[in-house]
């Protein structure tokens, strides 16, 4: 996540001492098959009944040098502790893949904290829990699921939104978590019912069952759409991976075996942090997971028409490709 936003000009510095912490309400949520307790309000997530959390999020000081430059970042990765700091937002400490300490930057409130917290911070936490994490979107289609990967601006969330409008169900947007404990059956875990869309994509797709949430910061381009319907709360086997590219017409072509594995590695979330994030045996584990997914899931190149008015051409092609794949099994 590239956070290059300036903090609000006039806001009191938040208190994070013992008294302020005691005033924080601990809420319980469900995401990626896990129970999450959080002192940061995360209305993006689905509420859950209080229970022993798999991941606990607390607001407290984190002993880590803050980036000095405006918009600066600093990361440090250890086997059991990972530090992620954005000068404009705050510092996050992941401990033992089960706890996230949050130290907000001056003047930063919960809606803005949620952007890195539910993006790279949670993605790295899930990675530490031995899940394979992709920077992608995923949709459930008739008991199977498809993953949309691609470079920034390729249309991952837009294509997912068009699929939802066509009656399919969102599994997760931005952070795709795969459980590969059964080597022959990769499973996508459901995230939470939110889709982030640029204004032009939102106008073109018009997902009726979505609530548009207030903008967290003027410099954040995409707007959060919370789905009232159209979300799958169940884990679904992965059937296809589509690597999105812009084209003149909708087209699907198989990605050669030699290209499938590099594509999955490229769009795995931990790759964004570089080799430094793969401490200990994580490098070999991560490579094995990517190879396992490439071997068990059909990887295709999907050309999406540049004009948003033609996005349904890609939807129809995806549906046909999935139906043909199901018949061939």
**For 40-49, how does the pLDDT look when each residue is reduced to its tens digit (9 = 90+)?**
999 999 999 9
Instruction: Write the Ramachandran bin of 107: left for phi over 0, alpha for psi from -120 to 50, otherwise beta.
Output: left
How far is 174 from 178, CA to CA, in rounded Å?
13
Residue 328's pLDDT is 58
Report pLDDT for 82: 96
Kindly provide the residue ranges of all beta strands, DSSP E only, lying in 43-183, ordered along the sequence: 46-47, 55-59, 73-77, 81-86, 90-95, 99-104, 132-141, 144-149, 169-179
Write the CA distances from 277 to 76, 78, 98, 128, 282, integer angstroms.
8, 8, 17, 10, 8
> What tokens appear for 137 in the block?
């979107």
Predicted pLDDT at 308? 86
- Rounded to 5 degrees, what are φ and ψ at 61? -65, 145
Pick the closest to residue 188 from 248, 143, 252 (CA basis): 143
Q: What is the pLDDT at residue 327? A: 60
CA distance 198 to 68: 31
> Given this model, what pLDDT does residue 218 score?
66
Nearest to 155 by CA among 206, 189, 121, 196: 196
Residues of the chain with CATH 3.40.50: 132-328
C-beta separation of 181 from 292 below 8 A: no
Query: What span, in angstroms and rounded, lies between the C-alpha atoms of 166 and 50?
Result: 35
Consecutive H or E run containing 25: none
Burial level of 47, CB count in 10 A (0-12/13-18/19+)? Answer: exposed
Dihedral of the CA atoms 60, 62, 67, 71 (nearest 10)? -30
Contact assessment for residue 28 and residue 48, using Cβ atoms and an 8 Å cutoff? yes
How far from 285 is each of 94, 128, 130, 225, 302, CA to CA, in Å? Answer: 20, 11, 8, 34, 28
> What are the phi and psi torsion angles at 16 (to 5°)?
-130, 25
CA–CA separation, 265 vs 271, rounded Å? 7
Residues with pLDDT less than 50, the chain: 1-21
Phi, psi of 125 (to 5 degrees): -65, -45
pTM of the model: 0.89
Task: With H, G, I as helix, E, B as strand and everything else as coil, classify residue 186.
Answer: coil
Cα within 13 Å of Cα(65), Cβ side: 7
Q: What is the CATH number of domain 132-328?
A: 3.40.50
pLDDT of residue 307: 82
Contacting residues for 299 by C-beta, under 8 A, at least 6 apart: 240, 241, 243, 254, 255, 259, 260, 263, 264
- pLDDT for 9 equals 38
Burial grade of 192 (CB within 10 A; 0-12, 13-18, 19 or more): buried
């Amino acid at each position: 996540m590239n956070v290059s936003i300036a903090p609000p000009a006039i806001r009191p510095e938040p208190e994070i001492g013992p008294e302020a912490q005691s005033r924080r309400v601990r809420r319980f949520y469900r995401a990626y098959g896990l129970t999450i307790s959080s002192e940061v309000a995360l209305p993006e997530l689905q509420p859950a009944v209080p229970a022993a959390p798999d991941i606990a999020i607390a607001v407290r000081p984190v002993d880590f040098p803050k980036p000095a430059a405006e918009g600066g970042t600093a990361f440090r990765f250890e086997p059991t502790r990972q530090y992620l700091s954005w000068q404009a937002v705050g510092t996050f400490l992941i401990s033992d893949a089960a706890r996230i300490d949050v130290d907000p930057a001056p003047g930063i409130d919960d809606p803005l904290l949620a952007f890195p917290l539910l993006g790279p911070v949670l993605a790295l936490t899930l990675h530490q829990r031995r899940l394979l994490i992709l920077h992608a979107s995923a949709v459930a289609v008739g008991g199977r699921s498809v993953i949309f990967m691609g470079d920034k601006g390729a249309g991952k969330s837009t294509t997912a939104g068009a699929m939802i409008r066509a009656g399919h169900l969102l599994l997760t947007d931005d952070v795709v978590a795969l459980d590969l404990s059964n080597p022959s059956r990769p499973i996508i875990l459901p995230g939470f019912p939110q889709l982030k869309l640029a204004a032009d994509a939102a106008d073109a797709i018009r997902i009726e069952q979505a609530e548009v949430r207030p903008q967290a910061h003027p410099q954040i381009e995409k707007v959060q759409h919370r789905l009232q319907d159209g979300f799958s709360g169940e884990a679904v086997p992965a059937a296809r991976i589509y690597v999105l590219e812009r084209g003149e017409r909708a087209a699907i072509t198989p990605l050669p075996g030699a290209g499938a594995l590099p594509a999955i590695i490229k769009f795995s979330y931990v790759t964004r942090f570089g080799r430094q994030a793969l401490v200990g045996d994580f490098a070999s584990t991560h490579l094995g997971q990517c190879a396992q997914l490439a071997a068990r899931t059909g990887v295709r190149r999907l050309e999406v028409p540049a004009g948003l008015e033609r996005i349904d051409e890609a939807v129809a092609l995806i549906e046909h490709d999935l139906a043909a794949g199901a018949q061939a099994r």
